[in-house]
Structure 1
């Protein structure tokens, strides 16, 4: 996987964490400090670094059974995940408003942040499984995903109160489109549709 593909993947994986952090920032009673935002970013970034490694280990254990059609598995997983992210991003404004309104009554605790971080890292786990069937440096890719998530989550918390209603879940739509594009590119490359 090229450096550009790795970076696209990393920032696509951080889009749902970015949306969650926008919601958290919007729900705070006051403007968060940089340290508070960074703490949230570290929680999300650490978990998003670990989950692709777990998925990769799981994928390796299955790879001997599906090596003949691994590119189809990667394509299907990426496109399904991308479609799910786009679906979440295109939900009605009312759903988004309810999600952002609920936390205003009760600020997010550490446990709630960890649970949210794990929930938004399920896609990174699936990506890890996919990477087991590709020529990818899993350590570099996991660090890139974690670093992008750290950056985007920290920014999301800081900017949440100002731009959550403007950006909202559009970030997930863009992330989903990127994942589908990567899945199609993998399939095209393995089938040799662009050769000759």
Structure 2
């Protein structure tokens, strides 16, 4: 029984890492601008809060749906995770010039919402599969906050193409978890 909890924790930790990769890659670009440490702290906290709230809303909706459709929940959850991961993976290979939203005022909320929208869908699939809610939300919020901070701090120091590769890695991880739910 304890090995089940360790496996669930490890799965949620890797999923939190995958979800936070969007925040990391976006914050890497933000960090390349002249930005103060106080602003970096605030941006990371708001992104973490959104990565907590969005999957929470998804988990609640997923629980409601799972009571209605029963055994199809794990299949539906796997399809959703795989779809999100595939979208992240393919968008990592498509280069587009992106206009950077300034992380000030309302722009900070738009930025946080945009990098956490995929965690709503992941929360929906987790609600369908009946995962430990408090642990998932804590890990998603904490990991995305940490990755946002890391991205901005690394962005201040390095001007590389690492952001694209982090989105590809995150998409690959979510695809793997989706396939595991479908076939494992």
TM over 0.5: yes
**CA 1:154–1:23: 2 relative to 1, 3 Å:** same
Q: Do the aligned partners of 1:37 and 1:155 also contact (CA within 8 Å) in 2?
A: no
Where does structure 2 lack aligned partners over 5 or more consecutive residues?
Answer: 1-6
The answer for the alignment partner of 2:26 in structure 1 is 20
Any residues of structure 2 matched to 1:126-165 within 5 Å, and which?
Answer: 126-165=121-160
Provide the C-alpha distance between the structure 2 equivalents of 1:162 and 1:50, rounded to a whole number of angstroms: 31
The answer for the alignment partner of 2:36 in structure 1 is 33
Q: Do the aligned partners of 1:10 and 1:145 also contact (CA within 8 Å) in 2?
A: yes
Give the greater-gyration-radius structure (CA): 1
The answer for the alignment partner of 1:68 in structure 2 is 71
The answer for the alignment partner of 1:9 in structure 2 is 15
Once the two structures are superposed, what CA deviation does each residue of 1:10-59 show, in whole Å capped at 9, x if it has no partner? 01010111111112112x2x3x3332211110010011111111001111
Give the aligned CA root-mean-square deviation in angstroms: 1.7
Q: 1:178 aligns with which of 163, 169, 173?
A: 173
**SS of aligned partner of 1:109:** coil
**SS of aligned partner of 2:128:** coil
Following TM superposition, the consecutive aligned residue runs of length 4 or more in structure 1 with deviations greater than 3 angstroms are 161-164
**CA 1:134–1:22: 2 relative to 1, 3 Å:** same
Instruction: Give yes or no for the alignment of 1:166 onto 2:161.
Output: yes
Once the two structures are superposed, what CA deviation does each residue of 1:102-137 show, in whole Å capped at 9, x if it has no partner? 44xx84322111111111111110111111122311
Once the two structures are superposed, what CA deviation does each residue of 1:44-81 show, in whole Å capped at 9, x if it has no partner? 00111111110011111211232121121011101100
Question: Number of residues paired by the alignment?
Answer: 178
Where does structure 1 lack aligned partners over 5 or more consecutive residues?
Answer: 190-196
**SS of aligned partner of 1:73:** helix
Q: How far apart are 1:149 and its partner, in Å?
A: 0.5
Provide the C-alpha distance between the structure 2 equivalents of 1:113 and 1:156, rounded to a whole number of angstroms: 16
Q: Do the aligned partners of 2:51 and 2:140 also contact (CA within 8 Å) in 1?
A: yes
